[in-house]
């Protein structure tokens, strides 16, 4: 399957699950994140504020933001800017209906201990399929230049045998 076909296939599979089931599966994945040694150790974590079809991370953000510095991406033109999460009062609906923090850009990439990344699908080599606009590919190339460990989050039905990848696609270090 090419990337477009794979995206359509995952969208179909997702329809077999109720939002309650997905919330339950998300909670299980979030507990795995919390038990991960790199998450436990991390002081600064790049997370994402999930859209309805992504592994839900809101609880993770709320549970940890007073103990760790939580960073969230913000769509600015063709790039993902990184900003500090400072509480829900500071979130606004941005491009693609993503909840995004206000404030200055966080630019000290070398201080990020861990990056948690959404995806449409991941394969056995930890290749990542996104929504087709390459936003995370561009961010991941910046994260990689700072050797930041990346963890993709996926429901079981988002794990596939193989994803066609191009030179600009950057695999995850691991997928939970």
Q: What residue number has its CB nearest to ligand ADP? A: 134
Q: Does 3 engage in binding with ligand ADP (CB under 6 A)?
A: yes
How far is it, in rounded angstroms, from Cα 156 to Cα 136? 21
* Span from 43-51, 86-94, 132-140, 154-162 in contact with ligand ADP (CB under 6 A): 132-140
When CB distances are held under 5 to 8 angstroms depending on the partner's kind, the choice from Mg ion, ligand ADP, none that residue 154 binds is: none
CB of 4 vs ligand ADP, minimal distance in Å: 9
Q: Does 137 engage in binding with Mg ion (CB under 5 A)?
A: yes
Secondary structure (DSSP) of the chain:
--HHHHHHHHHHHHTTS-HHHHHHHHHHHHHHHHH-HHHHH-SEEE-----TTS---HHHHHHHTTTSEEEEEEEETTEEEEEE---GGGEEE-GGG-EEE-SPBP--GGG--EEEE--SEEETT--EE-SSS-HHHHHHHHHHHTT-EEEE---GGGEES-----TT----SEE-
Q: Bridge partners of 76?
A: 79
CB of 132 vs Mg ion, minimal distance in Å: 8
What's the farthest any 2 CA atoms get from each other in the chain?
A: 43
* Span from 59-67, 73-81, 141-149, 162-170 in contact with Mg ion (CB under 5 A): 162-170
Q: Does 129 engage in binding with ligand ADP (CB under 6 A)?
A: yes
Q: Does 169 engage in binding with ligand ADP (CB under 6 A)?
A: yes
* Span from 92-100, 106-114, 135-143, 150-158 in contact with ligand ADP (CB under 6 A): 135-143
* Span from 20-28, 43-51, 79-87, 123-131 in contact with ligand ADP (CB under 6 A): 123-131
Binding site for ligand ADP (CB under 6 A): 3, 129-134, 137-138, 141, 168-169
């Amino acid at each position: 399957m090419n990337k477009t076909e794979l995206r359509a296939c995952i969208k179909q599979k997702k329809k077999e699950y109720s939002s309650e089931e997905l919330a339950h599966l998300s909670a299980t994945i979030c507990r795995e994140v919390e038990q991960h040694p790199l998450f436990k150790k991390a002081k600064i974590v790049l997370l994402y504020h999930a859209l309805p079809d992504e592994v839900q991370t809101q609880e993770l953000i709320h549970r940890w933001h007073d103990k760790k510095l939580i960073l969230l991406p913000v769509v600015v033109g063709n790039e993902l800017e990184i900003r500090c999460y400072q509480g829900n009062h500071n979130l606004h609906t941005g491009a693609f209906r993503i909840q995004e923090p206000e404030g200055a850009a966080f630019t000290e990439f070398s201080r990020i201990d861990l990056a948690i990344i959404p995806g449409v699908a991941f394969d056995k080599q930890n290749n990542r399929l996104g929504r087709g606009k390459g936003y995370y590919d561009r961010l991941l190339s910046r994260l990689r230049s700072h050797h930041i460990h990346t963890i993709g989050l996926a429901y079981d039905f988002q794990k596939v045998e193989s994803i066609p990848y191009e030179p600009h696609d950057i695999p995850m270090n691991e997928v939970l």
